[in-house]
Structure formats: structure tokens, C-alpha cells
Amino acid sequence: MQLNFIDWPSFKDIVLEGGTTLAEYCAQYAAVQTNWVYTLAAFIAIATLLIKKNKKWYWYVFIMLYMIMSVTSVGMHTANYGEFQPGVLTTKLLASYVDMSFTELVAWSGVCCFAFEFYQKADEKKKRNIFLIGVTAIMLIVIGVLTYEVFVLHDRPLYIGGGGAPMDGKTGGLSLAEFGCFLTALPVIYLLVSNFKKMTSTEKILFILIIFTFLVAFIITSLWGDNEINTFILGNIHGHSIWHILGGLAELEVVFWVHQRETNKKMAELKAKDKEIEELNNKLAQMRVESLISSAKEICGLKFICTKFEGISPASLRIMGDHIKFTAQDAIALLASVNEDKVSVLVVCGINALKEGAHAGKIVKEIAAMAGGSGGGRPDSAMGGANPEMIDDALASAAEIVETLLINK
């Protein structure tokens, strides 16, 4: 089977009305169509931020600038390259200026957003402000150079690569303004390196992926330029269209990173609260232990503590039991807690109580069985479950059960 491909390079020799080549027409058409990837990605990004109830205003500004850039880019790629005349302020040149200005603003706002993310503490505001001033200075210089090119020179001669006359629609190349976007975004590398250890593994991977995506897009548009159609891997590719597609992908990667960072932050806050609650439960348990020990009954020469709580978790119950076990070594404690229609029963025995034949596992087994549940465990500590409707009767008989077990040890 013979494979036949369209001879794209020959399209450069076909000149349409107005001076635009067929190759340029196809290239710009591809750029316009792929440009809507920016717009679609922006809508998805905004929707994601709203659904996740993200309240950080600066990310919304970043996405809105991205959306505006997608519109200005359509205008730039729709304008006619064929009308280009050095030294004349053409529609194409003006559209290019608007498009590149917003591209620069997107790069600037993205870096600023990451700076706001990483420098949120009060003692980091000065460092953040210095960083923002530096990035803003770069952005203003780039837009200043672009403004000089367009409105003073009426040309964009400061091209890197491409090999042909700038803005002629034949060879493309990388303009100084486009390179300026790269310079503006470069401080993101500093943010990554200086804050790398503060991020979770998922955040690190996503952040590196964002930088990689933008870098690949930048390299592609640098090598293939703004306007060329090139044969690439048995197919035909318009370099600038790939820039649009990768740019939209990176936009979504940024939003996913923001969401992941917010999720990790909330999880960290929950863990901190759980730790705080645990510490408070420990203090509360210690206070309750002192009260329980002082009011303990005596059975067979040992202290017997029996009480029921409401809403105490099994973990908190164990904390209280451990406090009793180590504080009153001659005590047997039976602690029950009703929590969301479930009953946890804990029995602990101090070291001296163990010497007298006390066995927490046997005691909790008897009490839980009487309350319609089951349980068992070690001699010094054991847990079980019970029926909420039967636990009161079981606790009322607990002293008698413990005494019987001690006598029949």
C-alpha cells in the first residue's frame, strides 16, 4: 500500500487574493480553531474553582486574563499577514500587539498567583512584595519594548530565530516579546526550588508538570515559529497550534494543582484539630480520673470504678482507662460510653489488682454478654460492645459480677 500525503510546503507558493499564501491561510485557520482550547479550558477552570468554593481572588483574575487572551489571539490570527508593510501600523501589527500584551499579562499574573500561594504568612509579606515588584518590573519592560516596536518602529524586528523577515507570514520565528513572556515566567523556577520541601509529593509532581508543559510549548513555538506548516513524524503540524493546545492543558493543570493544594491544606488543618482535640481529651480524662478514683467503691480489698459516659469515643475511653490503670494500681475500672447508638465497654486492671486475680478480659466478657454484646482481651485491658438498651442493667450488676469473679479466681 502506498501512503500519500499532502504536499504542504507547496502551499507556500500559492498566493491568494490580498497577498496571503494558502499555507498561511491554513496555518492561521488551524491557530484560530485550536485557540478555542484556551477558552474552553478557562470555562472549565472557572467552573472548577466555583464548584470547589475557592475564595482566592487572584486565581480568578489569572483565569479571566487567560480567557481574554484567547479572544485577542483569535483577532491576531484572523488579521491578514499579507497586508504587512515594514514601517506601517497595519491591522496585523496592532492585533499582534494586543495579543502579545495579554500573553505577557497572563505570564505575569500566573507568577504572581504562585507567589501569593507560597508567601501567605505575615512574616513573608515583605519577601512576597519584593518578589512581586521584581516580576512586575520585568513585565513592564517587556510590554514597553513591544510598545516601542509597534507604535514607534511600526515593525517587530527583534526576532530570535525563524531566519526570515519578521511578520511576513512565511518563516515565523520567536519575537523578543514572546521571549519576554518566558523571562517573566522564569521566577516560577525560584518559587519551586525555594518551596519544594513545603509541598506534598502530589503538589511537587503537578508543579513540575505545569512547568514542563509550558516549557515544551515554548520550545515548539520557538522552533516552528508563528506561521509555518512543517512536516513532523509522518504528519503535518502547525507549531503555534500545539502552543495553544498545550497552553490550555497547562491552564487545567494549574487549577488541579490549586485544588490539590487546598485539599492538602484542609487535611493538614483537620489533623491539627484532631491532635488538639486529642490533647484536650487527655487533659479532660486526667481530670475525670482523679474524680473517679476518689469516689471508687471497695470490693475484696480493691477499688472498683464503674461509670457510663455519653458521646465519648473508644479512643478517649482507652486514654481514661490507661490513666486509671497507672494512677490507681489497686483498681478495677469499668467504663462504658454510648456514642451514636453504639456502646463501648472498657475494663482495665491495675498491676496490684492483677496480683489479686483480677482479669479485665473475663470481666468485660461477662458484662458485655449480659448487655447483649460480646468482648474480651488481655488481663490488664479489654474492650467489648453492648446493646444501648441493656447496658444500664448490666452496669447495675457489675459490682456483683466482679466480686464473684474475684472470689472464684
Residue of higher predicted confidence among 84 and 141: 141
For 238, list phi and psi in degrees, rounded to 5: -105, 110
Alpha helices in 119-158 (DSSP H): 125-148
State residue 236's pLDDT score: 43
Residue 239 clears pLDDT 90, i.e. is over it: no
Q: Cα separations (Å) of 312 from 160, 202, 319, 345, 346?
A: 70, 36, 11, 11, 12
Q: What is the pLDDT of residues 253-303, one digit of tens each?
A: 999 999 999 999 889 889 888 888 877 866 776 777 778 888 888 998 899
Chain position carrying cell 515588584: 133
Q: How would residue 229 be classed by pLDDT, with cut points 50, 70 and 90? A: very low
Q: Write the DSSP string, 35-75.
A: HHHHHHHHHHHHHHHHHTT---HHHHHHHHHHHHHHHHHHH
Which three cell numbers, joined as nine digits, stand for 44? 472549565
Q: What is the pLDDT of residues 341-354, one digit of tens each?
A: 889 999 999 999 99
Among 34-38, 89-93, 144-148, 387-391, where is mean pLDDT lowest? 89-93
State residue 225's pLDDT score: 52
Which three cell numbers, joined as nine digits, stand for 292? 473517679
CB 407 within 8 A of CB 300: yes
Contact partners, residue 389, CB within 8 Å, separation at least 6: 372
Query: How many Cβ atoms are within 10 Å of 131's Cβ, its own excluded?
Result: 21
Query: How many Cβ atoms are within 10 Å of 49's Cβ, its own excluded?
Result: 19
User: Looking at this protein, which amino acid is placed at residue 236?
Assistant: N
Show the domains of the chain with their CATH numbers: 8-272 (1.20.1070), 297-407 (3.10.310.40)
Query: How many Cβ atoms are within 10 Å of 30's Cβ, its own excluded?
Result: 19
Contact partners, residue 80, CB within 8 Å, separation at least 6: 18, 19, 20, 91, 92
Chain position carrying cell 525555594: 194
Residue 73 clears pLDDT 60, i.e. is over it: yes
Q: How would residue 29 be classed by pLDDT, with cut points 50, 70 and 90? A: confident
C-alpha 267/C-alpha 263 separation (Å) is: 6
Residue 329 clears pLDDT 50, i.e. is over it: yes
State residue 81's pLDDT score: 57
C-alpha 90/C-alpha 341 separation (Å) is: 78
Span 334-347, mean pLDDT? Answer: 89
Residue of higher predicted confidence among 166 and 118: 118
C-alpha 261/C-alpha 206 separation (Å) is: 10
CB 217 within 8 A of CB 141: no
Instruction: Name 346's bridge partners.
Output: 335, 383
Instruction: Name 175's bridge partners.
Output: 159
